Chains A and B, each alone.
Chain A
Amino acid sequence: MFKKFLSIMFIAVALMAVMPISGYAFGNTVSLYETGTSSNIIYIKRPESHSASTSDKTYTISAVGEQGTKIKVYRYNPSSGVCELIKNETYIGASGLYSVVVDLTSDSNIFMVTAESGKGSQAVRIDIDKIKKSTIDRLKNVTVTIRNFIW
């Protein structure tokens, strides 16, 4: 009886030790609805609201996090219905800064940035829409102050 109890305890302890790791290890694909186990491992600096519009061919996502945090980037594939890995794991260094350039292949692009550390895991969805340059220019005229000096 005591041996059985010990065995059960040993298995339970082993499972508890492994669970946090296996629980947040992101593979080659992740669901669009994945959120991870934590919300404060990385902070996305760009785009600040996790969505943006641009006429550019690429977009640079930036983030900050603790040193040693493992980052992966996925792109949503509508035909498979899951997000597929496009940028393999990178570890945040001593600066705590991270950025990645992603190609904008369609008008509507969805990316998932995942982060894993000793604190848990986090997945952040980022939506980047591609719009025409003329539209951006029109928007800039309205929203961005291009300084008009007195001529």
Chain B
Amino acid sequence: MNKERFKSILLGFLIILNFVLGSRILIEKKLWPTGYNFFSNIGNLRISKLYENIVSYFTDGNQYEIQVLNPEKILLNTGDQTTRISLSPNDNSFEEIMSETNEILKTAFSMPSEMFTEIDKEDLYSALSVESVYLSYARKYSINLFEEFLGADTDGQTKLSENEFADIVISYSANGSKCNVYMADFDTDNYYGIGINYNSDKLRDLCDESVKKNGSEGENVINYSFDLKFDQPFGSQKTTLNPLIQVYSTTSEMPVIKAVNPIMKDEENVNETIIDNILNIFNINASTMRRYAEAGGTLVFVENNATLKIDKNGYLEYTAMDDGMELSNASGSEYSDIINLNSITSKINKALGNNEAMCLTQSDDKTIINYDYMVTGTRVVINTDNISSGVSAKVENGHLLSYKQLMRHYSIKSETSSPSEFFEALDNAIARYSEFMNEININKMFIGYNDNGIVGDKYANWIVEVDNVIVGE
């Protein structure tokens, strides 16, 4: 190769590099420290979006994950209480077992709805007393959502369309050729089951291996509340537990985590790059918006059709006017709304540099979609004046009406702490009501991190969800 040809190739390479880097500066970076970007409109052009999509395709990877259909917990039932184990998303075998159970659920939900049989609660309990897998979800899913997330061949499942399920049990037959799938809707007291032809050898092997590896040899015995009859009131018994609450005989050490507010560069200054990225995500035009700071230091960005507030504690609140922000490829279904919201939350988390997973959690309002942060497979329960979950968004007919997030990064510390014992936590929770209560029903109990909005160390402890308290006589 002669020298001239080499020079031409080098020149060509430098010209291409010039365009690539130049476009990045124009589209992604601000030119002035106040956040005003003369070229910000370029970022809204279709070709720029295409460029962003190509870049994100190559750079996103699996940096963090929003778990749309992951159980919060998987329990492997062996037929004995001593060897029963609980897996969190952080355990090695969790992913493999979940992938196999999803295949089983996909097969079950592809069956005609007439095949689903209404069963008694006791049938479900029996299934939990033999070799089986219990999938406990952090929120309830309709049959349609299960079908769409799993990619099942749906027939509408009209028979079960009124119900939502957060508790699913899969039991397998001794000869390995069949599986039973049980679904529980405790709110409506409806239970369904279906038998399917599915080779359960793989699931059995995965479960056996996991029990061998993770079994505590009786050090931590797990009973369901129904095993101990704590779900049934008797005489003067004031407390009842949801039948599937797991009563642990002991608790194990958990890592201490540290909550960091990623929006603050230091005590005084916010990270303008993150703010720019967030404005882009909500399609707020930096050249036409109005920006001001409220007395408490909250930054307010006002555009004709939306307001975005970011306070110094990391609380983000987006409120759209009129019809709200149209989400891409929105079909108006709950599934499409969740997928679209995932995209927005993923972009925000990416802008924050977060690697934590998030999971969908329960909401009483159909139009509200909630997520919680997950750290080392454990849920972080947010409890502040502004927000009671990591993310809470209102989506209607494919339009985002509001979006709230407590922006956090959680780092795992080397020190550990031990959550209190099950009954100590339960007694402490109930003691708050005991003066005026007559009856109390505990809906859910699980170990999680409680974030009250103040940055710093967080210790794992029991989260007790009270279902209803009956006051007086």
Contact = CB atoms under 8 A, between A and B. Distances in A.
A145 B122 contact: yes
Interface string A54-66: 1111101010101
A147 B180 contact: yes
A145 B228 contact: no
A96 B238 contact: yes
A66 B122 CA distance: 29
Contacts of A57: 80, 82, 218
A96 B228 contact: no
A55 B229 CA distance: 20
Nearest to A63: B228
A77 B279 CA distance: 73
Interface residues of B, number: 45
A93 B422 CA distance: 11
B164 to A, nearest CB: 22
A43 B235 contact: yes
Interface string A35-72: 00000000101101000001111101010101100000
Interface residues of A, number: 33
A101 B249 contact: yes
A62 B129 contact: no
Interface stretch (B191-199, B281-289, B297-305, B380-388): B191-199
A99 B228 contact: yes
Contacts of B427: 93-95
A149 interface: yes
A18 to B, nearest CB: 28
29 contacts: A45-B230, A46-B228, A56-B81, A57-B82, A60-B221, A60-B227, A62-B228, A64-B237, A66-B236, A67-B434, A93-B430, A93-B431, A94-B427, A94-B428, A95-B239, A96-B236, A98-B423, A99-B228, A99-B247, A99-B423, A103-B218, A140-B130, A144-B126, A144-B129, A146-B126, A147-B119, A147-B126, A147-B180, A150-B195
Considering the complex of A and B, which 10 residue pairs feature the smallest CB-CB distances, nearest first? A93-B427, A149-B195, A62-B228, A45-B229, A94-B431, A94-B430, A56-B80, A95-B239, A147-B123, A64-B237
